[in-house]
Structure 1
Amino acid sequence: MDKRTDKKKVPTTFNPHEITSERLKYSVFLTFGLFLMVLAFVLNSPKELWIGSIIILTSPAKLVTDYFELANSGSALLNASLMTFKTLALVRLSKSKITGPIIAALFTVAGFSLFGKNLYNSLPIILGVYGYAKIVRNPFSKHLLPALFGTSLGPLVSEITFNLGLPLFWGIILGTLAGLLIGFVLPPLAKHFAFFHRGFSLYNIGFTAGIIGMFFISILRSFGITIDAYELVSTGNNGIFSIILYSLFAVFFFIGFVLNKWQMTGYRQLLNQSGQSVPDFISLFHFGVVLMNMSLLGLLSTSYILAVGGELNGPIIGGIFTIVGFGAAGKHIKNVLPIFVGVFVVGLFNVSEIHSTSALLAALFGTTLAPISGYYGSLAGFIAGVFHMAMVLNVNYLHAGMNLYNNGFSGGFTAALLVPLFDLFKTIKADRKPNHKKDKPTPLPIKLID
């Protein structure tokens, strides 16, 4: 058996009876939301926060619209805080437990609330998923992940409402209807498309949302409505936000270290996980180990941005938060580092400068392909990073920035292309070995976000 195929077993260092209470997990993430809110009031006055929040709620939010620049940093953080609280409320109301994928969704929602998501444009999509759950007679908890991740298409709701020249009343009506329709079709499509990349792209909803966004934009363009990609980003935030992010992730590590009884036990086993199919690290490892992994990913990501001369603006911090969240559901420093290196190397020869926002977002969100390096090895991860960088710069036109998870869209195509080739090379290599035992075929996703 290939040494990378036996990575799903529960580590022997984890005692399943030492389950972290839901109250403790809620407390940690509520504190995170409160931290963002307090920080908002520290950075801006209440009047500035009110005005900035109105601007965020009533403006188109297509990729890449940095709320730091559109409004102000405090309003962006307040929006992220409120979206964090809304996510936790949905988890509680749906009677779901805080699992690894839920943590990934929580931090993804918080991160993208700095540059695209808000309370208005996310709500119709969530209600659409809820409607789907009711029609198919499933509990909403079964479809909570598509509801949370599906808010990636929130900019489409904002675009129709505020940027097509419609009267406000009809803009709200049509934008809401579009969001409801998106939410309704998202769960069945997400379940289907997961087989397209076989679980090797962690942002499956991003790929599904890209397909949906592409169809919506095609319809709008067929009526002569022009919607182009957009980029509005801020600069000059590195000083304050490097301190904030390093401090936040240091606190995460300290909490995890304390919860794990002042030791790193279990972390080596976590590094042996491939990450395929959005695994639930919370069910496999102690909560403290997962928090430490999230922390280290945050420190690595922030350091990468600063090392290449990038700016810590809303989209970049959103990317960092997303990586941190998926530290509970598939990512760790061992399987994301080859992606970083691959994107960095090809970026040196690319038309986009390596420290540009687009290149940095490709590096951060390109870690959707971390399972490839986790399963096939670091060289495969490097190659995936190279191909992803080339792909992601060319697919934004298809959905015109309406899908915030552009890298998830690109990553799905990249994984679908590379995984069969890596399987082929793996089979050829095995066939050349004398008296070899045939490797198991690449498994289909063991857990689908449906």
Structure 2
Amino acid sequence: MKIKIYPAYYVCMFIFTSLIIFGFLIDSPKEIFNGILEIILNSDILITDYVELGGIGAAFVNAGLLSLICIFILIYVGIKPNGSTLMALWLMAGFAFFGKNLLNVWPVMIGVWLYSKVQKEPFLNYTLIALLGTTLSPTVSQLSFIGQFSILGGILIGIIIGIAVGFILPPLGAYCIKLHQGYNLYNIGFAAGLLATMVMSVFRAFGINFDKRLIWNTGNNKVFFILLIFLFISLIIIGFILNNRSFKGIEKIFKHSGRLVSDYYLLYENLAFINMGILGIIFTIFVVLVKGDLNGPTIGAIFTIAGFGAFGKHPFNVAPLIIGALLSTFLNIWTIDSPQMILSCLFSTALAPIAGQYGWPYGIIAGFLHVCTVMNTSYLHGGLNLYNNGLAAGLVAILLVPIINAFRKEPTA
């Protein structure tokens, strides 16, 4: 079997290897090893900041290693890079800072693999869902290590349920995109949220409930800011060089609505890296300007936005969502620098296609509604769905888009 590594994967390898190098520059190998053990053997439900839980070095090595492993999986099954695979890799890296680790992702991925076998289709067709489906990875850790069961029994139950949710997720994800018509970029997060809500409902019926969690690191803004700016400037420079040392054509990305499926890498290739870098810089600065904390969850959110810079987001269709989210802070009970508000603002960009398709006023409304909605959805799934904002964005899109269409003629997709 001949294995080919495409330039786009080399770019991602550079970024993710940089995370590992940074981790070893900060902490010793022993500290990193012990930190990764702490990460693996703990609950991972929202919000569990791996920087706080296992240390800076362990969190960055976990993110880098897990992302590199996923690149090798994509290469092995023969998937050519496109916007969706780049997005999935960056989501894997981002959420490996708060919820996904080197152990808990595999049962869910095995479940998706089993589904491909039952359907008698190549796993290549489902690899993207396997990567994104690891949003349900906390289910594995939570059941294995919460103490409700014996250690062996808990691990066995966690693995079985992890495989089960992975098996169910592909058809559910395919159906959910019909519900929001492509206006929620976090489609798998929406599907996984519905599934996790059902799973959590069954748990509660048997008297199993999970306490709310907020593990949140502070005090590392300076070092993380320098690192993130370096990574995203590097991404822009790489895109510039690969695009024949030119920014020509970047305005074409900015004209897209972002509605699924908007694959900027297939359409414009290396310009996608420039867009990803620009978005990364904008939102790194945003977190600092609103006096938020750069830590595992916020880095994860920034990586997610950057990843979708290859698959639906650009500065002009995310800006209205941020404005709407910020406007909500003047009326709601959460301060702008609180963990809940920072993450809600960043992840509200899931609804970028609404702003891109219908215009800024509707994008502002969508951002406002998203913040109000997401503050209540995590209870439904007990923190088992890492892409909680995907569930909230799906609900907003399902309600808002029909109303918009009822009062104005729907523009051409």
Residue of structure 1 equivalent to 2:247: 264
Matching residue's letter, 1:392: V
State how far apart, in whole Å, the 2-side matches of 1:331 and 1:22 are.
26
* 2:44–2:99 contact (8 Å) kept in structure 1: yes
Q: Which of 215, 239, 243 is the equivalent residue of 1:232?
A: 215
Aligned alpha-carbon RMSD (Å): 1.2
Any gaps of 5 or more consecutive residues in structure 1?
1-20, 428-438, 444-450
Q: Deviations over 1:217-262 (max 9, x none)?
A: 1111111112132111000010100111111111111111111122
Q: Which has the higher contact order (CA 8 A, sep 6+)?
A: 1
Matching residue's letter, 2:79: S
State how far apart, in whole Å, the 1-side matches of 2:125 and 2:117 are.
11
How far residue 283 of structure 1 moved from its aligned partner, in angstroms, is 1.1
Q: How does 1:40-439 map to 2 (within 5 A)?
A: 40-287=23-270, 289-427=271-409
State how far apart, in whole Å, the 2-side matches of 1:142 and 1:377 are.
34
* 2:5–2:75 contact (8 Å) kept in structure 1: no
State how far apart, in whole Å, the 2-side matches of 1:164 and 1:184 are.
26
* 2:325–2:344 contact (8 Å) kept in structure 1: yes
State how far apart, in whole Å, the 1-side matches of 2:241 and 2:274 are.
10
State how far apart, in whole Å, the 1-side matches of 2:121 and 2:354 are.
33
State how far apart, in whole Å, the 1-side matches of 2:143 and 2:314 are.
38
* 2:188–2:390 contact (8 Å) kept in structure 1: yes
* 1:280–1:328 contact (8 Å) kept in structure 2: yes
- Provide closer, same or farther for how the CA distance between residues 72 and 278 of structure 1 changes in structure 2, counting only shifts above 3 A: farther
* 2:112–2:126 contact (8 Å) kept in structure 1: yes
Any gaps of 5 or more consecutive residues in structure 2?
none
Determine helix, strand or coil for the equivalent of 2:6: helix
Q: Deviations over 1:316-350 (max 9, x none)?
A: 00000000000000000010111111101111322
Matching residue's letter, 2:260: S
Q: Which moved more, 1:165-174 or 1:189-198?
A: 165-174
Q: Deviations over 1:198-217 (max 9, x none)?
A: 10000000001101111111
Matching residue's letter, 1:227: F
Identity %: 40
Q: Deviations over 1:43-69 (max 9, x none)?
A: 111110010010111111000000011
Q: TM-score, normalization: structure 1?
A: 0.89
How far residue 168 of structure 1 moved from its aligned partner, in angstroms, is 1.4
* 1:229–1:396 contact (8 Å) kept in structure 2: no
Q: Deviations over 1:154-177 (max 9, x none)?
A: 111100000043221111111000
* 1:101–1:279 contact (8 Å) kept in structure 2: no
Q: Which moved more, 1:123-132 or 1:352-361?
A: 352-361
Determine helix, strand or coil for the equivalent of 2:105: helix
* 2:91–2:300 contact (8 Å) kept in structure 1: yes
Q: Which moved more, 1:314-323 or 1:276-285?
A: 276-285
Matching residue's letter, 1:381: G
Q: TM-score, normalization: structure 2?
A: 0.97
Q: Deviations over 1:386-437 (max 9, x none)?
A: 000100001110001110000000000000011111112213xxxxxxxxxx
Matching residue's letter, 1:244: L
State how far apart, in whole Å, the 1-side matches of 2:262 and 2:122 are.
22
Residue of structure 2 equivalent to 1:11: none
State how far apart, in whole Å, the 2-side matches of 1:127 and 1:301 are.
34
State how far apart, in whole Å, the 1-side matches of 2:44 and 2:170 are.
23
Q: Which moved more, 1:382-391 or 1:82-91?
A: 82-91
State how far apart, in whole Å, the 1-side matches of 2:5 and 2:331 are.
48
Q: Deviations over 1:129-159 (max 9, x none)?
A: 0000011011111111111111001111100
* 1:36–1:81 contact (8 Å) kept in structure 2: yes
Determine helix, strand or coil for the equivalent of 1:121: coil
Matching residue's letter, 2:33: W
- Provide closer, same or farther for how the CA distance between residues 89 and 148 of structure 1 changes in structure 2, counting only shifts above 3 A: same
Q: Which moved more, 1:304-313 or 1:25-34?
A: 25-34
Q: Deviations over 1:269-299 (max 9, x none)?
A: 1101111113211111031x11110000001
Matching residue's letter, 2:249: G
Q: Deviations over 1:339-368 (max 9, x none)?
A: 111101111322111111111111111111
State how far apart, in whole Å, the 2-side matches of 1:324 and 1:257 are.
16
Determine helix, strand or coil for the equivalent of 1:132: helix
